[in-house]
Amino acid sequence: MPSDQRRIQPRKQPRQVRAELTRQRILTAAAHVFGEHGYAAGTTNRIAERAGISIGSLYQYFPNKDAILAELLVRHLDDGAAIAERVQREELPGPIEEIFRLFVRGAIESHLDEPRLLRVLLEQAPKSTDVLERVELLKKNLVAYMRELLDDHPEVRVTDTETAARLIVTTAELVIHQLVADHEPVDLGKLENELVAMLTRYVRG
**Separation between Cα atoms, residue 132 and residue 127, nearest integer Å:** 6
pLDDT digits (tens, 9 = 90+) for 148-186: 999 999 999 999 999 999 999 999 988 998 888 777 878
Q: What's the one-letter identity of residue 162?
A: E
Q: Specify the DSSP class assigned to residue 45.
A: H
pLDDT digits (tens, 9 = 90+) for 57-76: 999 999 999 999 988 888 88
Least confident of 3-12, 117-126, 134-143, 176-185: 3-12
CA separation, residue 26 to residues 8, 95, 106, 113, 189 (Å): 15, 44, 27, 16, 33
H or E element that contains 17? helix 17-41
Q: How confident is the model at residue 35 (pLDDT cuts 50, 70, 90)?
A: confident
pTM for the model stands at 0.76
